[in-house]
Chain A
Amino acid sequence: MSAEAGPATDGGPEEHVRRVRLPADRRTPAAARAVVRSVLAEADLDELLNEALLLTTELSTNAVEHARTELDIEVTADQVGLTVTVSDFASGPVDELTVGVRNLSEDITEVAERGRGLLLVDHFASRWGTTYLPTGKGVWFRLDRAGRDGTGSAPFVPPAAGDPDGIGQTVVPSAGAMSALMQTTPDPYADDPLPDFAASLLTRVAEMVGAAGGVVRLDRGDGQGSQVLARYGRQPRAGSDLLRVPLAVHRPYAGELELDAAPTAYAQPLALLTAERLSLHLENDRLRRADVRRQAWLTFLAEASELLAQSLDVELTMALVPQLVVPRLGQWCAIHTTDEWGRLRLAAASHADESMLPQLHATLREAGTDSIQARLREASRNGTRTPLGSPMEGFAVPLIARGQRLGTLAVGRHQRHRQDPDEIGVLEDVARRAALAIENARIHAERRRVAQTLQQSLLPPVLPVVEGIGFAAEYVPTGGDAEVGGDFYDVVPMPDGRWLVVIGDVSGKGVQAAAVTGLCRDVIRVLAGDGKPLPEVLARLNETLVERGSGRYCTLALAAVGPGDGDQLDVGLHLAGHDRPVLVHSAGGPATFVGTGGTALGLLDAITTPTSQIALDPGDCLVFYTDGVTERRRGRELFGTGRLRDAAAPLAGYSADVVAARLRAATINFSVEEPRDDIAILVLRNDAV
């Protein structure tokens, strides 16, 4: 950042001013020299000719080469010297003006070709600097007659406002200049007004104390080190007096104001005053930035929590955490989990630089007393944050949820950026949330495993193979969820040689529903096995449910199947609140619903249990199903019994297996959604040939 400083061009009686606009052309430096030559001749300043021509050429060449716009050259000469300003009309940020270094090599092959222009300006000029205009930017220099500047030991003192005669004398700051110094404020609407504000203050104070140059340095403590916030005039020469005032800012900020001026008279108090004004606004900036950063972290944590809370899958949660951490909180991240033996195993790792990932894995595999693994074990054992040494510098935090050590979260430090206490706090927070999410996912997985085991145990492993009767079942549990549905089916031999087909649906879901399902299944098996008539089986089951079903009810279809007339099968069908099965005739024709509805079990003390007798001709089949089939959703639409019947009708003549499989496919394909409820289909067919 260069200093914003307009050259002092207060009009005076002896002043010679010339302004020309020149094209961006290779002839422009020569034209600019011609202008300067004529002004110097008028002002009788020929002694400055060589320097003035050289510096004018350097500035105009620079502008022609870099701005590529027209140039304005303004030449102002008075009794003591000359000021030349070269401005361009290029928009955009101002290029950093770097003063080249003096060549030190005698070997021509090592000598730089370029970069001497500003070195010469800096050497010869009494003062120089940059100005910013709404239309573009300018660079200016001031040359004073020998005796005033000469070797550059005595800085040119520009006339302060209200003190036009104060050149070269002890400067007494005017009330106007003081007031300007006090009233300069940062632009409240700028994104980052500090550099401009600092430049403006620096320029004012430098002009008031007659400093040839000055700089404001600021270290924001963000790992970038001390940066130049504002610069004014030329760089200090070796051996010149420097006035340094530290800025009164809080950690991690630190900075200083440096003026190329002797600490005489008003210089010291003015520098102190400026530093104080600047410090106040820097403190504001520090607080504002800290606030913005904390808000950003809060948002990040909220988002991370939400993401982690949504994941009920252990593997997914583990994979998610490094993605959250890298690159925002560190260069790399690795999650290790503790197995049942207390050993740490790598679960997931990520690196900001993909190509570094193999090396990260290799380093994480290393064993030994100083290895990362050893440090991770330490973090896990002690339950505290543990630093990691090079080459994978960073630290590890234990993952602890509900007092259980689940593993570690290791994070690598950013290379060009140190981790501030806020970031470490955020990381520890992420670790806590990740540990909870992993623990939750583990509990969920465990629950799902229990539920699925339980559900599997409620269904018969295989349906019996019976001469002349085809049984087939299809069962689709609810998609991936830990909730067990209440559907069940069974085929039980009866003492009289008939077979009892059972399909039912206990209200509700979950382990309690599954327990009631188990109860129903067992009661039916025991009573039917005892040879009790089916109405009594239903009545006893109803009693049991009313007493022990903890408010759950059950719909049930019972069908006792045995040989009938000829090669027919006789079916005694009892529906306890269950949907009527579909009868598909082998002869073709429309499929029909059969059976008479009775009372669902577990709701009332007394139930009605009407029986329907159905005769199945060879090839006829009876399709039982649960509400997972009919309530299969597509948007707001239900699959419904009508669609089921229509889907079943064309299946006449197919084996029970095929009918069940086709109906299952028809149900599933009805919608792209995951099934919300268990789907159970049981097909009974007269297989007599």
Chain B
Amino acid sequence: MDRAELSITVHRTGDEAVLRLAGEIDMLTAAQLSTVVNEILTEPPPRIVLDLGGVTFCDSQGLGTLVVLSRKASHAQALLILTNVGDFLLRVLDITGLRSALMIRNDAPAP
């Protein structure tokens, strides 16, 4: 309960917004992620990078949120990229068939 929060720090550069996520993504915190990304999408940079390195948990609600945000980003001519996706989350993305639909760049160096 005490650890179930999600913290998001945003770094904006010219053509990129990097969101560093730490904590858990579930029904409690998914809305928080949406809010932050939606705010960025009001003036979308070409790329929005979600650094999931600090994410310890992500459930199907989190996956649904990632799908919605990717879709919104693509409508706004921006690219939503996931980096530092953990092994278990990658497995979950494989199982659900989302790995090919979402943009994942695990080798991309975090700025």
Contact = CB atoms under 8 A, between A and B. Distances in A.
A27 interface: yes
A120 B68 contact: no
Contacts of B24: 30, 33
A30 B4 contact: yes
Contacts of A26: 27-28
A113 B64 contact: yes
A80 B55 CA distance: 28
Interface stretch (A57-65, A142-150, A202-210, A554-562): A57-65
Interface in A87-141: 102-109, 111-114, 116-117, 119-120, 123
Interface residues of A, number: 32
Contacts of A109: 71, 74
A107 to B, nearest CB: 7
Interface in A16-70: 26-27, 29-31, 33-34, 50, 53-54, 57-58, 61, 64-65
Nearest to B56: A53
Given A103-B101, A112-B67, A120 B95 contact: yes
A30 B74 CA distance: 31
Contact of A57 (B26, B68, B70): B26
Interface in B62-111: 63-64, 67-68, 70-71, 74, 88, 92, 95-98, 100-102
Interface string B1-30: 101100000000000000000001011100
Given A54-B59, A54-B92, A111 B27 contact: no
B1 A113 contact: no
Nearest to A109: B71
Contact of A29 (B26, B63, B88): B26
Contact of A108 (B60, B71, B95): B71
B57 A102 contact: no
A104 B97 CA distance: 6
B96 A103 contact: yes
Given A57-B59, A64-B27, A105 B101 contact: yes
A61 B95 contact: no
Interface residues of B, number: 27
Interface in A127-175: none
B95 to A, nearest CB: 5
Interface string B24-63: 1011100000000000000000000000000001011101
Given A109-B71, A114-B64, A103 B98 contact: yes
Contacts of B96: 102-103, 116, 119-120
A86 to B, nearest CB: 14
A123 B63 CA distance: 16
Residue among A31, A65, A108, A116 facing the most chain B CB atoms (10 A cut-off): A108
A108 B97 CA distance: 11
A25 to B, nearest CB: 9
A119 B95 contact: yes
Contacts of B67: 108, 111-113
Given A113-B67, A119-B95, A108 B59 contact: no
Given A64-B27, A102-B96, A103-B98, A29 B70 contact: no
Given A61-B27, A119-B96, A120-B95, A111 B57 contact: no
B98 A30 contact: no
Contacts of A105: 101
B57 A53 contact: yes
A416 B1 CA distance: 52
Contacts of B71: 108-109, 111
Main secondary structure of the interface of A (DSSP, over half): helix
Nearest to A29: B26
Contacts of A123: 95
A102 B93 CA distance: 10
A108 B4 CA distance: 28
Contacts of A64: 27
B85 to A, nearest CB: 13
Contact of A27 (B28, B59, B95, B102): B28
A51 B70 CA distance: 25
A61 B26 contact: yes
Contacts of B60: 58, 61, 114, 116-117, 119-120
A108 B67 CA distance: 7
Contact of B28 (A29, A114, A117): A29
Residue among B68, B74, B98 facing the most chain A CB atoms (10 A cut-off): B98
B65 to A, nearest CB: 8
Nearest to B73: A108
Contact of B61 (A61, A104, A119): A61
Given A57-B59, A108-B70, A120 B92 contact: yes
A113 to B, nearest CB: 4
A122 to B, nearest CB: 10
B63 to A, nearest CB: 6
Nearest to A26: B28
Contacts of B4: 27, 30-31, 33
A27 B3 CA distance: 11
B2 to A, nearest CB: 9
B26 A30 contact: yes
Given A108-B74, A113-B64, A116-B63, A57 B57 contact: yes
A86 B100 CA distance: 32
Nearest to A50: B88
Contacts of B63: 116
B16 to A, nearest CB: 19
A102 B97 contact: yes
Contacts of B98: 103, 111
A62 to B, nearest CB: 9
A104 B94 CA distance: 11
A177 to B, nearest CB: 34
Contact of B59 (A61, A102, A106, A107): A61
B34 to A, nearest CB: 11
A107 B88 CA distance: 23
Contacts of A61: 26-27, 59-61
Q: What 3 pairs across the A-B complex have the smallest Cβ distances?
A: A30-B4, A103-B97, A116-B60
Given A54-B88, A102-B95, 11 more contacts: A29-B28, A30-B1, A53-B57, A65-B27, A106-B101, A108-B71, A108-B101, A112-B67, A113-B64, A113-B68, A117-B59
Interface of B: 1, 3-4, 24, 26-28, 57, 59-61, 63-64, 67-68, 70-71, 74, 88, 92, 95-98, 100-102
6 contacts: A64-B27, A103-B101, A116-B64, A116-B96, A119-B60, A120-B95
